[in-house]
C-alpha cells in the first residue's frame, strides 16, 4: 500500500459514494487507475465494505448504552462473543483489557427496553456481571481518523 492508496482510502472514508472519476480528480489518477487500485484494496481485505451512516434517533433508537461484560471464571470468550452477537440490540462488541472482557454498544428505543436488554445480557451463559453507562449525547462517532493514512 502506497501513499496514493492511502489517499484513496481517506477519500472513501469521507465519501464512500464517490465515483472513480471523483476519486481520480482528488488523488491525481485516472478513473480506471483508481478502479484498479480500489479493486486490489478490496481483494486484499483493506476495504471490507461500504455502508450508509444512519442517525439512530431518526430510526427510533434514541437510547444508547455502553455495557461492560465481566465473564465468569470458566467462560469462553469466543462463545460469549457469539452469544452477544446474537442480540440485535448489540451494535458493536469490543474485547478489552481489565476486569471486563467486553464492552458492547447497545441501541434501543426506550429506557424500559434497555432494562429488558440488560436482563437478557445477564442471563447469557458466561456473564458474571455487567456495568452500564447510559450515553446522554453523542458529540461525534465513527469519524474517519486519517492520521494513520497520511490524510489531513
User: Which mean pLDDT values do the consecutive 10-residue runs of the chain (152 residues) have?
Assistant: 92 92 95 96 94 89 97 94 96 95 97 97 96 94 67 49
Please give the DSSP secondary-structure letter assigned to residue 105: E
* pTM of the shown model: 0.80
pLDDT at 143: 76
Backbone φ and ψ for 104, nearest 5 degrees, come out as -115, 145
Parallel, antiparallel or unpaired: strands 63-71 and 90-95: unpaired
CATH architecture, domain 57-135: 2-Layer Sandwich (3.30)
Domain residue spans in the chain? 3-51, 57-135
Are 43 and 54 within 8 A, CB to CB?
A: no
pLDDT at 6: 93
Backbone φ and ψ for 18, nearest 5 degrees, come out as -60, 140
Q: Which residues contact 13 (CB under 8 A, 6 or more apart)?
A: 144, 146, 149
Q: What is the CATH number of domain 3-51?
A: 1.10.10.10
Residues 143, 1: Cα–Cα separation, whole Å:
22
Amino acid at each position: 500500500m502506497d501513499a496514493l492508496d492511502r489517499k484513496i482510502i481517506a477519500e472513501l472514508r469521507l465519501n464512500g459514494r464517490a465515483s472513480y472519476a471523483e476519486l481520480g480528480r482528488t488523488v491525481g489518477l485516472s478513473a480506471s487507475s483508481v478502479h484498479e487500485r480500489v479493486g486490489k484494496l478490496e481483494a486484499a481485505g483493506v476495504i471490507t465494505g461500504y455502508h450508509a451512516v444512519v442517525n439512530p434517533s431518526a430510526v427510533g433508537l434514541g437510547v444508547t448504552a455502553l455495557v461492560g461484560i465481566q465473564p465468569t471464571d470458566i467462560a469462553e470468550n469466543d462463545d460469549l462473543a457469539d452469544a452477544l452477537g446474537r442480540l440485535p440490540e448489540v451494535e458493536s462488541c469490543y474485547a478489552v483489557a481489565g476486569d471486563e472482557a467486553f464492552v458492547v454498544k447497545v441501541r434501543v428505543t426506550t429506557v424500559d427496553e434497555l432494562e429488558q436488554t440488560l436482563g437478557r445480557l445477564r442471563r447469557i451463559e458466561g456473564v458474571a456481571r455487567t456495568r452500564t453507562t447510559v450515553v446522554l449525547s453523542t458529540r461525534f462517532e465513527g469519524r474517519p481518523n486519517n492520521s494513520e493514512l497520511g490524510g489531513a
